[in-house]
Amino acid sequence: MSGGLSGRAAIAGIGATEFSKESGRSELRLAAEAVLAALDDAGLSPADVDGLVTFTQDANQEIAVAREIGAGDLSFFSRVEYGGGAACGTVAHAAMAVATGMARTVVCYRAFNERSGRRFGRPDAGLGGQPTSQGLEMSWHVPYGLATPAAWVAMFARRYLHVHGASSEDFGRVAVAMRRHAATNPAAWFHGRPITLEEHQASRWIAEPLRLLDCCQESDGAVALVVTSAERARDLRRSPALITAAAQGSAAGQMMMTSYYRDDLTGLPEMGVVGRRLWEASGLSPGDVQTAILYDHFTPFVLVQLEELGFCGRGEAPDLVRDGGIELGGRLPVNPHGGQLGEAYIHGMNGIAEAVRQIRGTSANQVGGVANVLVTAGTGVPTSGLVLSAG
């Protein structure tokens, strides 16, 4: 999905609701608020919207969002699969619609009442009993206690620790860095609340070797992104973030966060697929990126993404993190907004908004001289990624 996009479309507006644990508003209302905020950010109105893209898991139909904001006719709408893996995919679909002339202004959105509504990570014994391909897949895991995302990732993380000689403290350093960044981001739920490595190590086990502070938040809120042509975006209210490359990827032996039957259980080859496509399509390399927004629903997957995307070699990510390489002022600042561990868990869409702020130079934790930002979506699943660049 990366070919032919380079610089033809851009993100012209971003919008978000307040991130909370109890919004008091419906998911439809949250989505509408974020979409209207993104349009206002771009200097556009609902009448300009002719396309909408969201996740298959979003509760809000595109036609309902269109009615709620007062939009007119829609000429393009799309839903992207695989949970958080959809985040950058929504932008890819929107950019392709714009680049091919199917739509002029496409808004991507994701709304969540995850904390006050349904608890997203709760065990679901029914996962293994559905008469579907996913039900068949889960029937091998759920009856044995592997019933939550944390448990699935814990199996992977244990193998990573064994093969590379890493420790729980290496995971903890990721959590500490994300919370440190969130502490200076006024929009973050954990604003003003950093943690120490000792606090991470003292937090309770969720599924060994994952502790509570290795796991992302449950959040209420919504994020929206306005995608239009690069040419048009340059005439709008804000500086555009050009979509230099976009990709989606799945790898051999792929399962939904339980790809336990591969020969190597210490990598995320689907992220490797995305990374190779992004570097090829953009003509850039890891050394051309000033900051990365990596999907951090669980700390171990941040380490593995650094390796799969070429920022370090296999098994070297713990050393990079120990040396402060992912912190502000480090070799590759990761998630200056605090990520899903520190800002909010809106299925990665808030990370794309942060990437746009970094391109504009308006982030609360602005990295100097940002020309290119790498963004990734959900890990352990068929996933997606973006390279955004200054226009």
Write down the pTM of the prediction: 0.96
Ramachandran area for residue 315 (φ above 0: left; ψ -120 to 50: alpha; else beta): left
Q: Does the bond joining 333 to the residue before it have cis omega, within 30 degrees of 0?
A: no
Q: Name the nearest CA neighbour of 291 among 195, 223, 357, 215.
A: 357
Name the CATH code of domain 9-115+219-390 (choices 3.40.630.30, 3.40.47.10, 1.10.10.10, 3.40.640.10).
3.40.47.10
Each domain of the chain, given as residue ranges in start order, spans 9-115+219-390, 119-147
* CA-to-CA dists, residue 225 to 40, 90, 147, 238, angstroms: 11, 9, 33, 13
Q: How far is residue 70's CA from residue 170's CA, in Å, rounded to a whole number?
A: 49
Q: How many residues does the chain have?
A: 391
Q: How far is residue 295's CA from residue 315's CA, in Å, rounded to a whole number?
A: 19
Q: Which two tokens stand for residue 160?
A: 């990573």
260 is a catalytic site residue: no
Q: How far is residue 58's CA from residue 112's CA, in Å, rounded to a whole number?
A: 8
3-class DSSP string for 168-189: HHHHHHHHHHHHHHHHCCCCCC
Question: Residue 64: enclosing H or E segment and its boundaries?
Answer: helix 62-69
Question: Residue 249: enclosing H or E segment and its boundaries?
Answer: strand 241-249
Ramachandran area for residue 27 (φ above 0: left; ψ -120 to 50: alpha; else beta): alpha
Q: Which residues of the chain fall short of a pLDDT of 70? A: 1-4, 115-128
Confidence at residue 2, expressed as pLDDT on a 0 to 100 scale? 44
- Cβ–Cβ < 8 Å for 233, 200: no
Helix (H, G, I), strand (E, B) or coil at 289: coil
Q: Using one digit for the tens of pLDDT, what is the confidence trace for 240-269?
A: 999 999 999 999 999 988 899 899 999 999
Question: What phi, psi does 383 have (nearest 5°)?
Answer: -130, -175
Q: Which of 82, 109, 160, 295 is catalytic?
A: 295
* CA-to-CA dists, residue 35 to 17, 75, 246, angstroms: 9, 17, 22
Q: How far is residue 367's CA from residue 212's CA, in Å, rounded to a whole number?
A: 29
Q: How far is residue 319's CA from residue 338's CA, in Å, rounded to a whole number?
A: 21
- Cβ–Cβ < 8 Å for 232, 99: no
Question: Residue 292: enclosing H or E segment and its boundaries?
Answer: strand 291-293
345 is a catalytic site residue: yes
Confidence at residue 391, expressed as pLDDT on a 0 to 100 scale? 84
- Cβ–Cβ < 8 Å for 224, 107: yes
Question: Residue 79: enclosing H or E segment and its boundaries?
Answer: strand 76-80
Q: Which of 82, 109, 160, 345 is catalytic?
A: 345
Question: What phi, psi does 346 have (nearest 5°)?
Answer: -115, 45
Confidence at residue 118, expressed as pLDDT on a 0 to 100 scale? 60
Confidence at residue 324, expressed as pLDDT on a 0 to 100 scale? 97
Q: Using one digit for the tens of pLDDT, what is the confidence trace for 266-322?
A: 999 999 999 999 999 999 999 999 999 999 999 999 999 999 999 999 999 999 999
Residue 233 contacts by C-beta under 8 Å, 6 or more apart in sequence?
10, 11, 12, 42, 240, 391
In 153-238 the beta strands, taken as DSSP E runs, fall at: 205-207, 210-211, 220-229
Q: How far is residue 186's CA from residue 347's CA, in Å, rounded to a whole number?
A: 20
Q: How far is residue 51's CA from residue 66's CA, in Å, rounded to a whole number?
A: 9
